[in-house]
Structure 1
Amino acid sequence: MNKFDRERPHYCHPQVILKTPQRLSAMALTLVSIWIAAISVAYCYPTAFQDLGESSKNRTSIRFLAIGDWGGVPYPPYITAVQKATAREMSKIAEQMGADFVLSLGDNFYFRGVDSVDSPRFKDTFEYVYTAKSLRIPWYVLAGNHDHAGNVKAQIDYTQKSDRWKFPSYYYELNFRIPNTGKTLTIIMLDTIMLCGNSDDFLDEKPRGPLHAVDANRQLAWLQERLARSKADFLLVAGHYPVWSVSEHGPTECLLQRLHPLLLKYKATAYLCGHDHNLQYIEESGIGYVVSGAGNFLDPDIRHWNHNPKGSVKFFTGQASTLGGFVHAEVTKNKMVLTFLQAKGTSLYRTVLSQREFN
């Protein structure tokens, strides 16, 4: 039995009893099942706003860091030089520019995730690395392909053992009120491995389709419902696999088919991801695509540059000389400012995205 079979996600479902005539076709039954799944997930995740604490009372923005692929190595000292340098710079930026939380974009533990909630990797690769007071803030976590090679449920359960590790479910929604503005920010955290399937870094590195189609479709139904309902002034979606990328893994065909149309239809502000081990900013149809996967390794590969929309690539770096990197975001009353930073202490690129406009 596959590890993923043992840890298939559990969702709440309404008690529905169907008295279906035998003559009802199998196709109709399938449609009813999908409808029930969609209704179920809509009511499993009621809208709630996260508390930013006392520090938010006298300001008018939300600030956060976004970093993926930071997950060390599975042998002593369980970290890399890039991870250590990036952690040090993250602490400085969080202190200087401010950070209310961190978005962790997957591949939290290389190379095969963790095996249990008591794994020493939580301490060796996370708690003992991001030690600065400025990083003792909520870390909102999602799973990457390397995490799915282990026990993702153990990472979810670690939420109960840590005061800052926040991983409530395989996919979930975060809602924030931007202090003193009347504006709101929503971040939808996805499990793109559940949605598209795992990838083998030693083969063609492409997702091979979801392991369980029902789970993938349930997540997609939930996502569409949340996007359609959202009136947030800033709407972000985050996952591990990229929609667009110039680097080794390139664009993810599954996400181009299943997620990309929804981002366009519902006017998402940006999509944030990791997977490729570099920093990228791609802008297409008014949506920002952020790749922040330079938390542990660096890769200067640009083999898929021409597989992205012409003129869409605005920024890329994966040079070893940067020592690693991450993204700082500040969301204000009417704009979102993204700053791409390298671990050796300088800003590399900055861009501004506008709030959503409703017709």
Structure 2
Amino acid sequence: GGGWAALGAWGAVQFLAVGDWGGVPDPPFATPREVATAAAMGRAATDLGADFVLALGDNFYYEGVRDEWDPRFQETFERVFTAPGLQELPWFVLAGNHDHAGNVTAQLAYGHHSPRWHFPHYYYSLRLSLPGTNASARLLMLDTVLLCGGGDDFGVGAQLAWLRGRLAAARHDRYVLVAGHYPVWSVAEHGPTACLVRLLRPLLRRYRVTAYLCGHDHNLQFLEEGGVGYVVSGAGNFVEESQHHSGAVPPGSLRFFFGAPASPGGFAHLRLDAHAATVTYLEATGRVLYRVALPPRDL
């Protein structure tokens, strides 16, 4: 779709990561936070640069969509993310638990109706070329709801086998990012996801994954453990301040937390270049909340 021509126009691959952005099921179908976050994402795309948007699930509250013609696609997506800087950008989408409460195959099918909605399969892989280098990065999109018991065991085994194969094949990529809806580590309301700590964390460490990106908890967090960065970006629609699970993450792993209830929302901007993967957390006001640079993988 549109937007690929500009890929890497900033001497880097750059994208916005927003989770839990999916409005509400009643008029006007978008929350004030979603509207403010969408506007700020447009400004960030223009000012900092962006090649695409990563949608980290819970795309439609509270029960997903009914079918591929559901008006919620217009009300909560197309008519909200209208800023000039966002208009041309492709969205790469994965499903959250609220999406699975409805019809996820309808979200897959919606790609046929919108040039900017890319959701080819429940889990899928993107290869990103770093401009001005011969280096590449890999972005692996997961369905953590299916991985954590939202489906049959056969499906879990198939997704894990796919992930292992993709991680092994990415051994020469300068950065490998994995994205899912549920967090591995989080200090907030939902806290760590036991199934992902068990199934996913060992793979992230073994294959020296640069970062794992997620939503589910409605705040912004950065944690670091075992050489892996954990980016929680779930503040696109609601903001919650609870750190109820601060004792459930590895000691010293939490580097940043933002969940001010009065905040108009927030998201993350990622920049991948030859030297670093830089994660910048932005409030919907445009304020930079935190920035961290993650090194290239030691190949």
TM-score interval, normalised by the smaller of the two chains: over 0.9
Counterpart check, 1:314 vs 2:255: yes
Match of 1:166 among 118, 122, 131: 118
1:257 is aligned to 2:198: yes
- Distance of 1:57 and 1:87 partners within structure 2: 22
Kept in 2: contact 1:247–1:300 (CA 8 A): yes
- Label 1:152 to 1:351 Cα distance change in 2 as closer, same or farther (>3 A): same
Q: Residue 55 of structure 1: SS of its match in structure 2?
A: coil
Structure 1 residue aligned with 2:67: 116
- Preserved contact between residue 139 and residue 166 of structure 1 (Cα < 8 Å): yes
Q: 1:226 and 2:166 equivalent?
A: yes
CA distance in 2, matches of 1:57, 1:126: 25
Structure 2 counterpart of 1:8: none
Q: Separation in 2 of the partners of 1:130 and 1:340?
A: 19
Specify which of 132, 136, 147 is matched with residue 195 of structure 1: 147
Aligned length, in residue pairs = 297
Residue 6 (structure 2) aligns with: 55
Are positions 1:135 and 2:75 aligned together?
no
Alpha-carbon distance, 1:52 to partner: 6.2
- Is the partner of 1:322 in helix, strand or coil? coil
Residues 8 and 14 in structure 2, CA contact (< 8 A), matched pair in contact too: no
Matches within 5 A, 1:1-359: 53-56=4-7, 59-136=10-87, 137-197=89-149, 210-230=150-170, 231-358=172-299
Taking the aligned partners of 1:322 and 1:93, their CA distance within structure 2 comes to: 17
Q: Give the residue type in structure 2 aligned to 1:65.
A: L
Q: Is the contact between residue 2 and residue 90 of structure 2 (CA under 8 Å) also seen in structure 1?
A: no
Distance of 1:59 and 1:84 partners within structure 2: 26
Displacement, 1:60? 2.1
> Secondary structure at the residue paired with 2:183?
coil
Q: Is the 8 A contact 1:59 1:180 kept in 2?
A: no
Q: Secondary structure at the match of 1:84?
A: helix
Query: Counterpart of 1:225 in 2: which secondary structure?
Result: helix
Q: TM-score by structure 1 length?
A: 0.81
* Deviation sequence 1:29-69 (CA, Å, 0-9, x none): xxxxxxxxxxxxxxxxxxxxx99644347642011000000
- AA at the equivalent of 1:229: A
Distance 1:56 1:71, change over 3 A: closer
SS in 2 for 1:280: strand
Percent of aligned positions that are identical = 52
Q: Distance in 1 between matches of 2:10 and 2:98?
A: 38
What amino acid maps onto 2:54 in structure 1? L
- 2:19–2:216: 8 Å Cα contact kept in structure 1? yes
Tell me, in whole angstroms, the C-alpha distance in 2 between the residues paired with 1:354 and 1:228: 19
Tell me, which stretches of 5 or more residues in structure 1 are unaligned? Answer: 1-49, 198-209
1:88 Cα deviation after fit: 0.9
5+ residue gaps, structure 2, are none
Give the helix-richer structure, 1 or 2. Answer: 1
CA distance in 2 between partners of 1:134 and 1:216 (Å): 38
CA RMSD of aligned residues (A): 1.3
Larger radius of gyration: 1
Offset of residue 321 of structure 1: 2.7
Distance 1:116 1:175 in 2: 30
- Normalising by structure 2, we get a TM-score of 0.97
